[in-house]
Amino acid sequence: MRAVRVWRSVLGVAHTVVEKVELETQGGEEVLVATVRPTRSRQGRCGRCDCRSPRYDNGEGPRRWRGLDAGTTRVFLQAEAPRVRCATHGVIVAAVPWARHGSRFTSAFEDTVAWLACHAALTVLAALLRITWRSVAAVITRVVTQRAAQLDRLDGLRRIGVDEISYRKGHRYLLCVVDHDTGRLVWAAKGRDSETLRRFFDALGDQRSALLTHISADGAEWIHTVASERAPQAVLCLDAFHVVAWASAAVDAVRRSTWNQLRQDGKTDQAKALKNSRWALLKNPPNLTGDQRTTVAAIAKTNLPLYRAYLLKEQLREVFAAKGARSRQLLAGWLSWASRSRIPEFVALATTIKRFLPLIHNTLDHGVSNALSEATNTHLRLLTRRAYGYHSADALIAMATLTRGGLCPPLPGRSCYPRKQQEARTFG
């Protein structure tokens, strides 16, 4: 086997001629430098559109690209970087088959960075590959841009979930759109208002918006307004999780007001016992510990209004757990009970639910929720915590698109990586 072929395989390059390989000393360490050039068929092409273009000049001379390490030795590819005159993009550096335009890393190196970013902390990635966090962010942006251009993630949308998430202090939000059928994040942008959501429908287009069948969201009326305006044929569903969360907030408000009233009445022992009952009242009954079950039983004997609030919350949860026409019957009964409960927090909640009743009925009939959107939000919080925060919304969007948008590349040399395993690891 020819040595040139061996080196081409080791360097992970294609359509490339390896002219020579030598060791050099750089910064007190030895590095491997491979002098290369594109094959004749890949020479003289625009760096952006890859179209054949006439040579303009020699550019700024030889350039180096960082490649994957060979064992413990850093590897660089060195080649001339001439410029060509593209009919579309003007004078531009010619494309090379081993790297993306504008990058000083090889494509194999960048794909490895992107894969590791999906599966490991950025500190681990930076230490392993000996690059800076700034370089990691730039690499992810290039990989996402290239792979997103090859795939129309908005094509084939039928059922979507819309939700917002805070990514930084100061009321800074991202609006995320998730495909219910694939579980993937298909669109994200900075902001959480009607104009931001209209930008999504502008990108989707009127023809594809008309194909949407279901849209799930929380109680934000600006989402409902824009969805009804741009996709009037779609069934709009109110997320069950948020409705139950309203009931949980109402129970907690009743608990606090009861605790304050007991303190004012001088019943300090009862107030003290009630103070630590928050999680016993908010957790799902199957998840209660033995002590928490005892706490709920004590409240049932000593504080009937608070216990009724707890039962109202649990009954509302059962409404969404039921199926078919029975769920509507249970909801009608719940509204009647809550309206007559004489608990101000639940009387107000019943009024709110009546206002959103058509959307809740859609949820009960079609079983569409924002569970996948909430899972995406949880993943974004994990990404933010793992990176110790993001200064730029664009950096977080690129990272979220890479990990939740199905754009994570396979490791170099593993293009046959099982697709189901790849997706499971990417989304897991």
Calpha distance 174→157 (Å, rounded): 20
Q: What is the dihedral of CA 237, 238, 239, 242, to 10 degrees?
A: 180
Eight-state DSSP code of residue 40: G
Give the up-direction half-sphere exposure of residue 228: CA atoms within 13 A in the CB hemisphere. 9
Task: Look at residue 415 in the predicted model and tell me its pLDDT.
Answer: 59
Contact 132, 96 (CB under 8 A): no
Give the residue from 397, 373, 355, 323 showing the smallest Cα distance to 224: 355
Is residue 112 a contact partner of residue 122, using CB atoms and an 8 Å limit?
Answer: no
For residues 161 and 216, what is the distance between their CA atoms, to the nearest angstrom? 5
HSE-up (13 A, CA, CB side) for residue 45? 16
Mean pLDDT in consecutive groups of 10 residues from the start of the chain, 428 residues: 77 91 90 95 93 93 94 94 94 95 94 92 88 88 90 92 88 92 94 94 95 94 95 95 94 92 82 82 90 90 91 94 89 95 95 95 92 90 82 87 90 63 45
Per-residue tokens: 366: 């079609």
Residue type, 150: Q
Task: Please tell me the distance from the alpha carbon of residue 14 to that of residue 154, in angstroms, as a whole number.
Answer: 32
Name the token pair of 41: 């068929």
* DSSP per-residue string spanning 194-252: HHHHHHHHHHH-HHHHTT--EEEE-S-HHHHHHHHHH-TTSEEEE-HHHHHHHHHHHHH
Question: In this predicted structure, what is the pLDDT of residue 423?
Answer: 46
- Closest among 187, 141, 188, 190 to 170, alpha carbons compared: 190
User: 300-321 as b/e, with b when 16 or more CB fall inside 10 Å?
Assistant: eeebeebbbbbebbebbbebbe
Strands 62-70 and 73-80: antiparallel
DSSP 42: G
Cα–Cα distance for residue pair 258/28, rounded to 1 Å: 71
Tell me the per-residue pLDDT of 121-170, one tens digit each, with 9 for 90 and over: 888 898 999 998 889 888 999 999 999 888 889 999 999 999 999 888 87
- Provide the b/e sequence for 329-351 (b: ≥16 CB within 10 Å): ebbeebbebbeebebebbeebbe
Q: Are 36 and 92 in contact (CB under 8 A)?
A: no
Phi-psi region of 144 (alpha: psi -120 to 50; beta: other; left: phi over 0): alpha
C-alpha 176/C-alpha 187 separation (Å) is 6
pLDDT tens-digit map of 240-274:
999 999 999 999 999 999 888 888 888 887 787 78
Alpha carbon distance 422, 2 (integer Å): 34
User: What is the spatial distance between Cα 243 and Cα 233, in angstroms, rounded to a whole number?
Assistant: 24
- What phi, psi does 363 have (nearest 5°)? -65, -45
Residue 135, by phi and psi: left (phi above 0), alpha (psi -120 to 50) or beta?
alpha
Q: Which residue has the tokens 């929380």?
A: 218
| pLDDT for residue 88 | 93
Could you tell me which residues are beta bridge partners of residue 188?
176
SS3 content of the chain, % helix, strand, coil (to 5): 50, 20, 30
Could you please report the per-residue DSSP string of 273-304?
HHHT-HHHHHS-GGG--HHHHHHHHHHHHH-H
The CA–CA distances, whole Å, from 243 to 30, 154, 236, 269, 361 equal: 62, 29, 15, 33, 12
Cα distances from 252 to residues 257, 275, 298, in angstroms, run 9, 11, 17
Euclidean distance between CA atoms 46 and 90, whole angstroms? 9
